[in-house]
Amino acid sequence: MIDELLIEKIKAFLNIEFKDDKKRLKHIFSVEKMAISLAEIYAIDIFHVRVSALLHDVTKRLSYKENLDLASKSFSKQEINLVPKSCLHAYSAAQLAIEKFQITNRNILNAISYHCSGRKTMSKLEQIIFISDYIEETRLFADDDLRKLAKLNLDKATYEILYKTIEYLKIKKRPISELSIEALEYYKRKMEEINER
Ligand SMILES: [Fe+2]
Ligand SMILES: [Fe+2]
């Protein structure tokens, strides 16, 4: 399918799916906007970034059972157990991307799958979606310093977001994904290695 046609098809689907949830719709389009601006800085394929951003939360309105059924088609029980229920929509969104929009690009599917938990050794595309989800303009918990940092250094911004998210979840006594903890350690080490050089 021609790139622009696919984007239009996804947007039409989102407009119907989220017709009663304008806040979510606005978030999704703001993630797209932020992700495009980062993709331009880091020379990442704009089409890949747009598809990933537009589909990252596409299953947000589904029930837990629907999310679990979809996610289980692509992910093992063990993989599903690595993320809290609140991140299950990321796995199911990747499966919906495959079924509904015939997305086969592994990098796009990973960017969707790990936008919620993050993970170690993320690709630049994965980092851009992970970061944009947190810093897009309607996110009140993100500040402009973090937005500036994202434009300067993807690894540092990834680390900051993982750190803030984990701290927040600890305070709220909510479950934290093992993938996020591993990712925090990984990006911490990566930054230390750069500082030691
Ligand atoms: Fe999400
Ligand atoms: Fe999101």
How many A from CA of 131 to the centre of ligand 1?
Answer: 11
DSSP type of residue 175: -
H-helix or E-strand spanning residue 50:
helix 46-55
> What per-residue confidence (pLDDT) applies to 197?
72
Both tokens assigned to 130: 């992970």
Q: Chain-centre distance of CA 56, in angstroms?
A: 6
How many A from CA of 59 to the centre of ligand 1?
Answer: 9
What are the pLDDT tens digits along the chain (197 aa)? 679 999 999 999 999 999 999 999 999 999 999 999 999 999 999 999 999 999 999 999 999 999 999 999 999 999 999 999 999 999 999 999 999 999 999 999 999 999 999 999 999 999 999 999 999 999 998 999 999 999 999 999 999 999 999 999 999 999 999 999 999 999 999 988 877 87
Angle between helices 3-17 and 46-55 (to 10 degrees): 20
Q: How many domains does the chain have?
A: 1
> What per-residue confidence (pLDDT) applies to 50?
98
> What per-residue confidence (pLDDT) applies to 110?
98
Print the domain residue range for 185. Answer: 3-196
User: Sign of the CA dihedral 37, 43, 44, 46?
Assistant: positive
Both tokens assigned to 28: 């999704």
At residue 121's C-alpha, the angle toward residues 124 and 171, to 5°, is 100
Q: Domain containing 158 — which CATH number?
A: 1.10.3210.10
How many A from CA of 196 to the centre of ligand 2?
Answer: 35
Ligand with the closest atom to the CA of 136: 2
> What per-residue confidence (pLDDT) applies to 144?
95
How many A from CA of 194 to the centre of ligand 2?
Answer: 30
What whole-number distance in Å separates Cα of residue 36 and Cα of residue 20? Answer: 26
What whole-number distance in Å separates Cα of residue 176 and Cα of residue 192? Answer: 24
What whole-number distance in Å separates Cα of residue 123 and Cα of residue 92? Answer: 20
How many A from CA of 133 to the centre of ligand 2?
Answer: 5
Q: Can you give the length of the chain in residues? A: 197
> What per-residue confidence (pLDDT) applies to 1?
63
What whole-number distance in Å separates Cα of residue 14 and Cα of residue 188? Answer: 36
